[in-house]
Amino acid sequence: MKEKLKRWIPSKRKLMQLYFALLFNANLKGFVTGQIYKGSTKAMCVPGINCYSCPGAVGACPIGSLQGSFSADKSTLYYVGGILLLYCVLFGRMICGWLCPFGFIQDLLHKIKTPKVKKGPVTRLLSLLKYAILVFFVGIVPITYALRNVPLPAFCKYICPAGTLEGGLGLLANKANDSFFSMLGPLFTWKFLLMVSILVGCVFVFRLFCRFICPLGALYGLFNRISLFGVKVNTDKCTDCGLCISKCQLDIKTVGDRECVSCGECVDVCPTKAIVWKGTSVFVRKNEGEPVAPSSKKRTVTRAVAAVAMLAVLAGAIGYYWVTAPDAVAVGTAVGDKCFGYDLPVVTADGIQTDTVDPTKTGTVTVVNFWGTWCSGCVAELPYFDQIATDYPDVTVVAVHTNMLVETAADYIGEKYPNTKMVFAHDFPLEEGAMEELYYTKLGGNGGAYPYTVVLDRYGIIQSIFYSSVHYEDLQQAVEPLL
């Protein structure tokens, strides 16, 4: 019985995976309030796949940021590219084995005791699929649309199960986000189907997403051989017995190749102790059989101190985010309420003017749309608002953009809508912890979900609310009865 219970004690790698999953999602308050974290740490990309729309996420997803950077300023691409390159060269695919929260979820699912699908030549060939996904969904599609100023994170939108699980379901689970249920449509159906298939597939196939789908793992795998940390084979000792390959559940040809996630399962199984950890010996243990370092007590103390420090960092992070994250924002106005009045600065192609616009005081039917240049749905539906403004001169369309940089929106307006009848306005700059100051929030916007549209009659009373993308016909049906 003791032996069986011992198997329940997690290994060091499992503990590290749990640690980093908690650290990257340390905003536990987000699960209580249903709000995502909006602080400055979100500008830093975490190493693994962790959707930044997860209520607990405290950093940005690297693959989402990479796709977003194609349609943003070049400096964004340099910044994200630099971070990714550093992760690639320092850790390679060791991130997949030790740091990725979604990899941790897959490892846990695979522990469920069912018959397993073993690796073979077919799975080895299938492992090349993730490179095709990297090229098509992370490369060709986002870049093609970015050249037309349409931000499209195609992998996030059409494939990523982490986004559906952590972001979509994570937000839907909280009662504060009941309005999100009105957004469920074909895209959610497809992504839910894909997510369920992948998660159930992970029970039968070891790390199904990592091996066959994950473009981030594909990118890291290209640098596995030269990464600073990870596992490698000491060729002087290797007898090529193949035990390491048989122990490994991934589609490796040799230890440390593009499929290896440096989990270290092969280290103990090598009969000649030829598999070693790359990196400084201060942080990683030496293989058994090698002469014990004279200061083993020093090593034990160092490890104990490191463990305590890591726990302190985690506890500190959870505490910090609990204190600094905003409290639940009461979802405000509803249909039939008098809309909150606000003087929004008008933005033109030259930047902010001194003019302001208050959507409740136009004296006409007013359509208020909250959008951002970073949001593909927002950008895709903006032409419909432009068309409404043109077709119905008695209707005022106010497009309130939420970019932090006014210049980005101003450039966009100048290029795409130089002669529009829409009024572009700028929401107040986001300040840390001051979500309630956004006009978007005053009008009932929920936690930063865009696009968001409110239709007011000529008296400023809310008549319709749209929580997701709209088409021209939707706006027509909302506006015509009010004229």
Partner 1 sequence: MTEKGTKRVRLIYGIVLSAALLVAAICLIVACVGVYRTGEKPYFSREEVAAAFAPIAIPVYAALALTVGGAFLHLFLPVEAGRLRVPSRPETALARLYRRTTPVEPEAALCRKEQSLRTAVRLGGALVCTGCTVAFLLYALRPLAFTEDVTGSVLRAMRVWLPCLAGPFAYGVAAHFVLRASIKRETEAVLHGMTRQAAEAKESSASPQEVKKDATDGMAGNSSRRIPVTAVRLALLAVGVFLLVYGFATGGIADVLTKAVNICTECIGLG
How many C-beta atoms lie closer than 10 Å to residue 68's C-beta? 23
Residue (137 or 342) nearer to partner 1, CB: 137
- Say if CB 143 and CB 191 are below 8 A apart: no
Choose which of 447, 453, 460, 475 interacts with partner 1 (CB under 8 A). Answer: 447
The pattern of x and - marking residues 249 through 268 that bind partner 1 according to CB under 8 A reads -----x-x------------
- Find where tokens 């607990």 sit: 56
Restricting to residues 328-367, name those near partner 1 by CB under 8 A: none
Q: Per CB under 8 A, does 313 bind partner 1?
A: no
Q: Which stretch binds partner 1 (CB under 8 A): 180-188, 285-293, 306-314, 349-357?
A: 180-188
Q: Which stretch binds partner 1 (CB under 8 A): 20-28, 66-74, 315-323, 418-426?
A: 66-74
Choose which of 422, 468, 479, 482 interacts with partner 1 (CB under 8 A). Answer: 468
- Say if CB 262 and CB 123 are below 8 A apart: no
Residue (262 or 402) nearer to partner 1, CB: 402
Q: Per CB under 8 A, does 403 bind partner 1?
A: yes
Restricting to residues 70-99, name those near partner 1 by CB under 8 A: 72-83, 85-86, 88-90
Q: Which stretch binds partner 1 (CB under 8 A): 9-17, 174-182, 280-288, 453-461?
A: 174-182
Cα dihedral 41, 45, 46, 48 in deg (nearest 10): 150
Please state the closest distance from residue 241 (CB atom) to partner 1, in A.
7
Restricting to residues 16-55, name those near partner 1 by CB under 8 A: 36-40, 42-43, 45, 51-53
Choose which of 16, 22, 238, 349 interacts with partner 1 (CB under 8 A). Answer: 238
Please state the closest distance from residue 108 (CB atom) to partner 1, in A.
11
Task: Determine phi and psi for 240, rounding to 5 degrees.
Answer: 60, 40
Q: Per CB under 8 A, does 428 bind partner 1?
A: no
Q: Per CB under 8 A, does 301 bind partner 1?
A: no
Residue at 77: amino acid letter: L
Tell me the C-alpha distance between 70 and 49, whole Å. 19
Residue (168 or 460) nearer to partner 1, CB: 168
Question: How many C-alpha atoms does 404 have within 13 Å on its Cβ side?
Answer: 9
Instruction: Give the torsion sign (CA, 380, 383, 388, 391).
Output: negative
What 3-state DSSP class applies to 453? strand
How many C-beta atoms lie closer than 10 Å to residue 248's C-beta? 19
Restricting to residues 370-399, name those near partner 1 by CB under 8 A: 372, 374-377, 380
Tell me the C-alpha distance between 83 and 44, whole Å. 9
Tell me the C-alpha distance between 111 and 94, whole Å. 20
Residue (181 or 283) nearer to partner 1, CB: 181
Restricting to residues 405-424, name those near partner 1 by CB under 8 A: 405, 408
Give how far Cα 378 sits from Cα of 156, 316, 373, Å. 16, 37, 7
Instruction: Give the torsion sign (CA, 283, 288, 292, 297).
Output: positive
Q: Per CB under 8 A, does 269 bind partner 1?
A: yes
Q: Where is 84: in which H helix or E strand?
A: helix 74-91
Give how far Cα 407 sits from Cα of 266, 356, 371, 404, 418, Å. 53, 17, 15, 9, 15
Choose which of 28, 32, 126, 346 interacts with partner 1 (CB under 8 A). Answer: 126
What 3-state DSSP class applies to 291? coil
Tell me the C-alpha distance between 179 and 431, whole Å. 24
Choose which of 10, 11, 15, 140 interacts with partner 1 (CB under 8 A). Answer: 140
Choose which of 196, 301, 305, 311 interacts with partner 1 (CB under 8 A). Answer: 196
Q: Per CB under 8 A, does 460 bind partner 1?
A: no
Q: Per CB under 8 A, does 197 bind partner 1?
A: yes
Please state the closest distance from residue 361 (CB atom) to partner 1, in A.
27
Choose which of 10, 11, 15, 228 interacts with partner 1 (CB under 8 A). Answer: 228
Please state the closest distance from residue 365 (CB atom) to partner 1, in A.
22
Residue (85 or 306) nearer to partner 1, CB: 85
- Find where tokens 């992760």 sit: 87
Q: Per CB under 8 A, does 136 bind partner 1?
A: yes
Q: Per CB under 8 A, does 233 bind partner 1?
A: yes
Own/partner long-range contacts of 167-172 (Cβ < 8 Å, ≥24 apart): 167/51, 167/52, 167/53, 167/54, 168/53, 168/192, 170/31, 170/51, 170/53, 170/54, 170/55, 170/56, 171/34, 171/36, 171/53, 171/55, 171/447
Residue (67 or 360) nearer to partner 1, CB: 67
| 300 dihedral zone (left: phi>0; alpha: psi -120 to 50; beta) | alpha
Q: Which stretch binds partner 1 (CB under 8 A): 96-104, 222-230, 328-336, 389-397?
A: 222-230
Q: Per CB under 8 A, does 208 bind partner 1?
A: no
Residue (128 or 315) nearer to partner 1, CB: 128
